[in-house]
Structure 1
Amino acid sequence: MLRRQARERREFLYRKSLEDKRNAIQDKKDKLKRALDENKIIPTELRKDALYLQSQLEFDDKGAEGVTTYIDDEYKWVGVDDPKIMVTTSHDPSSKLKQFAKEMKLMFPNSQRLNRGNHEMKALIAACRANDVTDFIVLHEHRGQPDGMIISHLPYGPTAYFNLSNVVMRHDIPEVGTMSEAYPHLIFHNFSSRLGGRVKTILKSLFPVPKEDSKRVVTFANQDDFVSFRHHVYKKPDRKTVELTEVGPRFELKLYEIKLGTLDQADSADTEWRLHPYMNTAKKRKFL
């Protein structure tokens, strides 16, 4: 079993490396095509391979089907099979973190909550793989206040690390509505960049496809790289009116790292993206 997992992981990394090579060749094709279309001089670095690239351009088609990326391969069953999620905490959680973990278990359909105890992360991940768990979520705290969430997609990754802030429990919301068990509709706002699309895919894969008559809505709204999480149910008293009721919890997410591997491979997996110091004053900070 372990040999097969190692082999499948190597094959996955090999496919990803091939994709990087294909992307480099595609960039050269795009530059050559642009130069030919605009009747400009072919760039110096492309002149040696210009004839070969031009011959390959004839086979390119915008409507080509079956072309996938390694991201497609990671999430190829999203929307086909319902996700299976395991929610757990850090060692020796406080009562508030336990309560927050219960609420997050209710938030994600088809999820289970696991008491961490003294179990090691490798053993937990191995057990989740054996039981076809698709996502493993770990909640962290600081002085009794939830302050971190890790989402690890199984079996190969990626693993996204988020900071949590402004956490408000369901029981802290006045006149909180009942928690619906229907699959929620998802709203994503301002996830326009490539990294934003990546984060959107990671979050979207946690929820199964809802039915059209579902009255439950989960919103992820990005503003200044902080993702606001809101959870509502709604009803329509008439055709022109929609009444929203917040059912919680609510919090803010801030991404600070994405690893190309599972949580038990945190030390050996490559880093896809990381929030570096002094990015707050740079234009590239707007990653979502």
Structure 2
Amino acid sequence: MSGFSLRKQARLRREYLYRKSIQERHLATQQRKDKVKVALQGGTEIPTELQENALELMAGGDWDDSGPKLAVELGAEAGGLADIDDEYRWAGVEDPKIVITTSRDPSSKLKQFAKEIKLLFPNSQRLNRGNYENKQLLEACRSNMVTDFIVLHETRGNPDSMVISHLPNGPTAYFTLADVLMRHDIPNIGTMSEQYPHLIFHNFKSKLGLRTQNILKFLFPVPKDDSQRVVSFINWDDWILFRQHTYKKVKEGKDYELTEIGPRFSMKLYRIMMGTLDQEGAADTEFVLRPYMNTARKRKFLSDEDPW
């Protein structure tokens, strides 16, 4: 990689982090304004940490409920981008371009799973890992305008992990895989369709859920209205159940017939890193799953504000 390319990549990364810092600053200010506004409307005491600056916050609250105006103002401040968090700003405009690879020395089962994942994502290609490092592969992907880099891992021949790294600046999402059932293991499986699929996301409600939904959603191009292929991501108890079907209308009726075309597996998000896979250790962690936290506290958190 030339020195010019390295400098360009570093500059783009700095610009991206600057836009992110602007977004976070405005979000923090708006959250403080909302707390003061709720306290005043409810006739309750303003939180102690906000009392000193309450008048200043309310004086600057002219855009509290003016989303379009806020978007324009922040977009101008961030260099003309209406969406400051612009990781997926071209989503829906340009089709994603995906490269899929595996860990080193993959088993035959992991190779087969990688082939089926390639069929799952339109505009994707499978790359033999060989002895290449992640950094080398990601440099090649950036040079060829690849939008997402997916790595599949295994334990004792069973696929058990998927890493999705969005290029050029991230994020990178880490998923545990379980209950993997490949196409040739499902009886009476249908023929794999090459149509762009419609997507179904169920129970992705919270901020983390919407973040995860975006990471998965933008791996797929926009489907045509007459597409008869459906991909489903169903959140159940923090596990994402993946299913894929085709459908056709039953003759002389309003019912539809579903045919599963596989593969079938479950995913569990355990980390989101704000950088790319080659920046591990240097980029900030946006989310990490802590499965050994106090159970009662966890259940209270889930009931009050479900992370999904």
Fold conserved between structures, TM > 0.5: yes
2:35 corresponds to:
31
Letter in 2 for 1:163: T
How many residues are paired up? 287
Query: What are the equivalent positions in structure 2 for 1:213-224 lying under 5 Å apart?
Result: 213-224=226-237
Give 2:283's match in structure 1, choosing from 269, 272, 275. Answer: 269
2:220 corresponds to:
207
Return the alpha-carbon distance in structure 1 between the equivalents of residues 203 and 169 of structure 2.
28
Is 1:15 matched up with 2:19?
A: yes
1:148 partner SS? strand
Give TM-score scaled by structure 1 length: 0.94
1:108 corresponds to:
121
Return the alpha-carbon distance in structure 2 between the equivalents of residues 135 and 120 of structure 1.
17
Q: CA deviation at 1:280?
A: 7.7
Give 1:52's match in structure 2, choosing from 29, 51, 56. Answer: 56
Return the alpha-carbon distance in structure 2 between the equivalents of residues 207 and 162 of structure 1.
18
Aligned partners of 1:19 and 1:69 also within 8 Å: no
Is 1:6 matched up with 2:10?
A: yes
Unmatched segments (≥5 aa) in structure 2 = 75-81
1:226 corresponds to:
239
Aligned partners of 2:30 and 2:64 also within 8 Å: no
Query: What are the equivalent positions in structure 2 for 1:147-166 lying under 5 Å apart?
Result: 147-166=160-179
Return the alpha-carbon distance in structure 2 between the equivalents of residues 123 and 170 of structure 1.
32
2:67 partner SS? coil
1:63 corresponds to:
67
1:242 corresponds to:
256
Aligned partners of 1:166 and 1:251 also within 8 Å: yes
1:17 partner SS? helix
Q: CA deviation at 1:80?
A: 1.0
Give TM-score scaled by structure 2 length: 0.89
Return the alpha-carbon distance in structure 2 between the equivalents of residues 41 and 107 of structure 1.
54
Q: CA deviation at 1:19?
A: 2.0
Q: CA deviation at 1:277?
A: 3.3
Deviations 1:213-272 (A, max 9, x none): 000000000101111000100100134211000110000001111101000001211111
Letter in 1 for 2:287: W
Give 1:195's match in structure 2, choosing from 178, 186, 208. Answer: 208
Q: CA deviation at 1:14?
A: 2.1
Aligned partners of 1:84 and 1:111 also within 8 Å: yes
Aligned partners of 2:190 and 2:259 also within 8 Å: yes
Give 1:182's match in structure 2, choosing from 195, 201, 206. Answer: 195
Q: CA deviation at 1:278?
A: 1.6
Letter in 2 for 1:165: A
Distance 1:41 1:17, change over 3 A: same
Letter in 2 for 1:219: S
Distance 1:132 1:58, change over 3 A: same
Q: CA deviation at 1:193?
A: 1.1
Return the alpha-carbon distance in structure 1 between the equivalents of residues 221 and 289 of structure 2.
29
After TM superposition, the structure 1 stretch with the greater mean CA deviation from structure 2, 268-277 or 147-156, is: 268-277
Return the alpha-carbon distance in structure 2 between the equivalents of residues 54 and 216 of structure 1.
50
Query: What are the equivalent positions in structure 2 for 1:76-91 lying under 5 Å apart?
Result: 76-91=89-104
Letter in 2 for 1:22: H
Q: CA deviation at 1:142?
A: 0.8
RMSD: 1.6
Letter in 2 for 1:180: S
Aligned partners of 1:177 and 1:245 also within 8 Å: yes
2:274 corresponds to:
260
Return the alpha-carbon distance in structure 1 between the equivalents of residues 84 and 62 of structure 2.
25
2:170 partner SS? coil
Aligned partners of 1:86 and 1:133 also within 8 Å: yes
After TM superposition, the structure 1 stretch with the greater mean CA deviation from structure 2, 45-54 or 122-131, is: 45-54
Q: CA deviation at 1:59?
A: 3.5
Return the alpha-carbon distance in structure 2 between the equivalents of residues 41 and 264 of structure 1.
48
How many percent of aligned residue pairs carry the same amino acid?
A: 63
Distance 1:248 1:280, change over 3 A: farther
Distance 1:246 1:267, change over 3 A: same
After TM superposition, the structure 1 stretch with the greater mean CA deviation from structure 2, 92-101 or 54-63, is: 54-63
Unmatched segments (≥5 aa) in structure 1 = none
Return the alpha-carbon distance in structure 2 between the equivalents of residues 33 and 246 of structure 1.
50
Return the alpha-carbon distance in structure 1 between the equivalents of residues 244 and 89 of structure 2.
27
Q: CA deviation at 1:49?
A: 2.4
